[in-house]
Amino acid sequence: MKITMIGTGYVGLVSGACLSEVGNDVLCLDTNLDKIRVLNDGGIPIFEPGLQDMVARNRTAGRLRFTTDVAEAVTHGTVQFIAVGTPPDEDGSADLRHVQAAAAQIGRHMRGYRLIVDKSTVPVGTADLVRETVARELAARGEAIEFSVVSNPEFLKEGAAVEDFMRPDRIIVGADDARAIETMRHLYAPFQRSHERLLAMDVRSAELTKYAANAMLATRISFMNELANLAERLGADIELVRQGIGSDPRIGYHFLYPGCGYGGSCFPKDVKALLRTAREAGMDLAVLDAVERANEIQKGVLGRKIVARLGEDLSGRHLALWGLAFKPNTDDMREAPSLVLIEELLRRGATIAAYDPASMEEARRMLGERPRLTYASAPMAALEGADALVVATEWKEFRSPDFETIKTMLKSPLLFDGRNVFDPPQVRAAGLEYHGIGRG
Catalytic positions: 266
- Give me the amino acid identity at 5: M
Alpha-carbon distance 142 to 371, whole Å?
A: 61
Q: Report residue 28: phi and psi, to 5°.
A: -100, 130
Closest CA to 416 of 401, 437, 396, 398: 437
- Give me the amino acid identity at 292: E
Long-range contacts of 18-25 (CB under 8 A, 24+ apart): 18/54, 18/162, 18/165, 18/166, 19/187, 20/58, 20/61, 20/63, 20/64, 21/54, 21/57, 21/58, 21/63, 21/166, 22/190, 22/191, 23/63, 23/190, 24/63, 24/187, 25/1, 25/63, 25/76
Using the CB atoms, write b or e for 249-270: b if 16+ within 10 Å: eeeeeeebbbbbbbbbbbbbbb
Residue 365: exposed, middle, or buried by beta-carbon count in 10 A (0-12, 13-18, 19+)?
exposed
Going by C-beta distance under 8 Å and a sequence separation of 6 or more, which residues neighbour residue 123? 93, 94, 96, 207, 211, 273, 276, 277
Closest CA to 301 of 191, 437, 408: 437
Closest CA to 392 of 298, 290, 266: 298
Going by C-beta distance under 8 Å and a sequence separation of 6 or more, which residues neighbour residue 326? 262, 263, 264, 332, 333, 334, 335, 336, 337, 338, 393
The strand pairing partners of 435, in sequence order, are 416
Alpha-carbon distance 362 to 383, whole Å?
A: 21
- Give me the amino acid identity at 115: L
DSSP state of 383: G
Do residues 321 and 338 touch, judged by C-beta distance below 8 A?
yes
| Through-space distance between the first and last CA atoms of the chain, rounded to whole angstroms | 56
